[in-house]
Amino acid sequence: MGMIAELVTVASSALRARTGAPGRQVVSTGKGIGGTSTEAEVYGPCGMFSRPPKGSKVVMVPLGGGRTRVILGSANYQVVIDCVDGQTILYSTDATGKNVKARVDIGADGLIGISNETKSLKVILDSLITHLNGLITTGTAATQTISPATVALLNADKANLALLLKN
């Protein structure tokens, strides 16, 4: 008997252990083409972990006798990500799957971009360097300090980095 894969629309995803599983894994539930509800573990490449958002499509494949099913691939048609030959893009969405929240672009040109919906690492670092280049000190030779205006600019750069990067 041949293996028959099914295209399933995700209703929800959770991190938990299914009955008989050796540990916790992403488990997605959804409806197949025929409207049948189904559930399966999401199998992705080692070193990468993702929870398919509601509304995304996944390819569900039965194993063995068909009682155990796994998800081997997914697509999210709710967002548009443009990608050129040789480029890799890693992105995350909000829980609805409709809005890109953060992304890492690894370009075919060898350049890497890191951004979220409001900040770009390159823009923030360019600003930081500009502020450091314009560093102004005040006081006498014995009491040199950085000007309050420069300190304010550097603190703004720090705050912008905090809006983009995690600890």
d(CA 52, CA 17): 17
Q: Look at residue 122 in the predicted model and tell me its pLDDT.
A: 95
| Nearest residue to 97 (alpha-carbon basis) of 82, 78, 74, 71 | 78
Q: Look at residue 88 in the predicted model and tell me its pLDDT.
A: 95
CB 93 within 8 A of CB 115: no
Model pTM score: 0.77
Q: Look at residue 158 in the predicted model and tell me its pLDDT.
A: 94
pLDDT along the chain (167 residues), means of 10: 80 90 92 87 88 93 82 92 94 93 94 94 94 87 88 93 87
Cβ within 8 Å of residue 56, ≥6 positions away? 9, 10, 74, 75, 76, 77, 78, 97
